């Protein structure tokens, strides 16, 4: 591509001066990582091509891509390469059809009507709740509360359980790597109750220090709020161990599973988590809905989060009584179509198999990390993968002396590659890493190694372009 064409295609934007802190010691090692092979690949996704012998040689990404219409388009004259899945995932045809079917054939409010449309909508809405419960192996569907998103789910726990149970001097343990939605609500609760927030720092491998984590517990610890997989570091936390440490001091645990539920098998009964949150839009479902899992004995003791219709038992002029969970926490008309769409997404993911998705993404994760390591002057955050240390299929990184927003803009405008730049709702973590922002490429099961190759080629071109000004 000629340089004058490249300049012509670029939007009018001010080139940002690279943050001096963003240029850490460059990670320019060529990695030699173990190759992970899939034991098997599904014969089909939802495209109905059973028996096609050519599928046996295709990756899960190649098999499932036809189910996602949005992936088959050009952006700025280039084939779209969508690598922003940690922010939101794309939606398969089956989810789009489920939404359309609801609005076209049985759109109605739930729980309050006796006519056919209302009964049908209610049945499908509650079926979606059962699907969520089965997907994470909750013991019963009433342990699933639908919310607008995972952020609201965390706020529900903070304002309902937190304000009712935390007092002056009580301690809440978090890590510096938490998403803002797992920090800010507890800051508000701490200000109101006098509780103390304690943060686990990172070790030399840029992951939360487990020794520090174990030692930070005390007799005053009442709650642990922790991610399962970091949306920046790509690291997995040993939440089973953390939950056991919490049990030893009588503390509760809330797991932010937004980056794990869409990508691997998550079993809340096996984990023994007290609370767990996730978002539909990161797992092939619609935006506008997420869920809170809570143990039934905990939910039953928690006061309402919002007041209004549906969450009541009886309303008098001087007081009201409240419904049992989950209705107690679902005031007003819920996101009916979105819940049904989430149910369709779970059907789709379950049809593939979460273990199969996880195995394929482990392979993609290593390929992405190894490929990015080969790019000069790139600093990747989080642990180096090995036989014992796995990374999620994402890489947050900086390139020496080039601002991540410049990188993301050029990739989009010149190559049709969609990644994210910024602090990824993790400003404390970025400050701890010594940078203000990073670029992030994140994959899902419908991505392929060819997507990674296209990204790396485009990134090399981007770096060459900006280095030409030096």
* Residues classed as catalytic: 425
Alpha-carbon span 220 to 173, nearest angstrom: 10
Alpha-carbon span 408 to 318, nearest angstrom: 56
Provide the token pair at 85.
């899945």
For residue 343, give the nearest of 60, 133, 164 by alpha carbon.
133
CA 15 distance to own-chain centroid? 30
79 CB-near residues (< 8 Å, 6+ apart): 416, 454
Strands laid side by side in the 394-399 sheet? 378-380, 394-399, 438-442, 420-422
Provide the token pair at 39.
């034991």
SS3 266: coil
For residue 458, give the nearest of 89, 87, 86, 81 by alpha carbon.
81
**Pure H helices in 57-115:** 60-64, 93-101
Contact 41, 56 (CB under 8 A): yes
Alpha-carbon span 239 to 257, nearest angstrom: 10
SS3 421: strand
Element (H, E) at 57: none
What φ, ψ does residue 461 adopt, rounded to 5°?
Answer: -65, -40
290, 294, 300, 301: CA torsion to nearest 10: -110
C-alpha atoms less than 13 angstroms from C-alpha of 416 in its C-beta half-sphere: 13
Place of tokens 């729980």: 111
């Amino acid at each position: 591509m000629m340089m004058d064409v490249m300049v012509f295609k670029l939007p009018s934007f001010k080139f940002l001066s690279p943050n001096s802190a963003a240029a850490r010691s460059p990670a320019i090692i060529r990695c030699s990582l173990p190759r992970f092979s899939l034991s098997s690949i599904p014969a089909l996704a939802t495209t109905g091509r059973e028996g096609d012998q050519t599928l046996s040689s295709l990756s899960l990404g190649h098999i499932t891509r036809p189910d996602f219409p949005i992936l088959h388009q050009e952006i700025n004259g280039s084939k779209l390469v969508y690598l922003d899945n940690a922010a939101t995932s794309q939606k398969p045809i089956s989810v789009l059809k489920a939404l359309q079917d609801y609005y076209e054939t049985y759109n109605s409010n739930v729980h309050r009507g006796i006519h056919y449309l209302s009964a049908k909508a209610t049945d499908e809405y509650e079926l979606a709740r059962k699907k969520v419960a089965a997907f994470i192996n909750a013991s019963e569907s009433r342990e699933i509360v639908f919310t607008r998103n995972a952020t609201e789910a965390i706020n529900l726990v903070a304002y309902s359980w937190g304000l009712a149970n935390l007092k002056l001097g009580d301690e809440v343990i978090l890590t510096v790597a938490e998403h803002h939605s797992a920090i800010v609500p507890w800051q508000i609760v701490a200000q109101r109750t006098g509780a103390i927030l304690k943060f686990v720092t990172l070790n030399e491998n840029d992951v939360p220090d487990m020794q520090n984590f174990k030692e930070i517990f005390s007799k005053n610890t009442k709650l642990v709020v922790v991610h399962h997989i970091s949306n920046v570091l790509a690291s997995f936390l040993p939440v089973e161990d953390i939950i056991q440490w919490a049990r030893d001091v009588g503390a509760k645990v809330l797991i932010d599973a937004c980056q794990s539920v869409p990508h691997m098998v998550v079993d809340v009964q096996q984990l023994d988590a007290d609370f767990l949150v996730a978002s539909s839009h990161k797992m092939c479902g619609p935006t506008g809905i997420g869920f809170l899992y809570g143990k039934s004995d905990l939910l039953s003791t928690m006061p309402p989060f919002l007041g209004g219709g549906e969450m009541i038992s009886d309303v008098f002029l001087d007081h009201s009584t409240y419904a049992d969970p989950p209705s107690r926490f679902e005031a007003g008309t819920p996101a009916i179509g979105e819940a049904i769409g989430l149910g369709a997404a779970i059907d789709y993911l379950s049809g593939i198999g979460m273990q199969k998705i996880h195995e394929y993404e482990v392979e993609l994760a290593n390929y992405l990390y190894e490929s990015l390591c080969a790019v000069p002057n790139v600093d990747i955050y989080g642990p180096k993968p090995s036989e014992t240390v796995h990374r999620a299929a994402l890489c947050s990184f900086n390139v020496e002396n080039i601002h991540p927003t410049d990188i993301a803009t050029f990739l989009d405008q010149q190559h049709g590659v969609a990644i994210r730049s910024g602090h990824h709702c993790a400003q404390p973590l970025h400050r701890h890493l010594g940078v203000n922002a990073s670029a992030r490429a994140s994959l899902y099961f419908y991505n392929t190694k060819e997507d990674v190759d296209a990204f790396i080629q485009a990134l090399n071109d981007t770096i060459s372009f900006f280095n030409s000004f030096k």
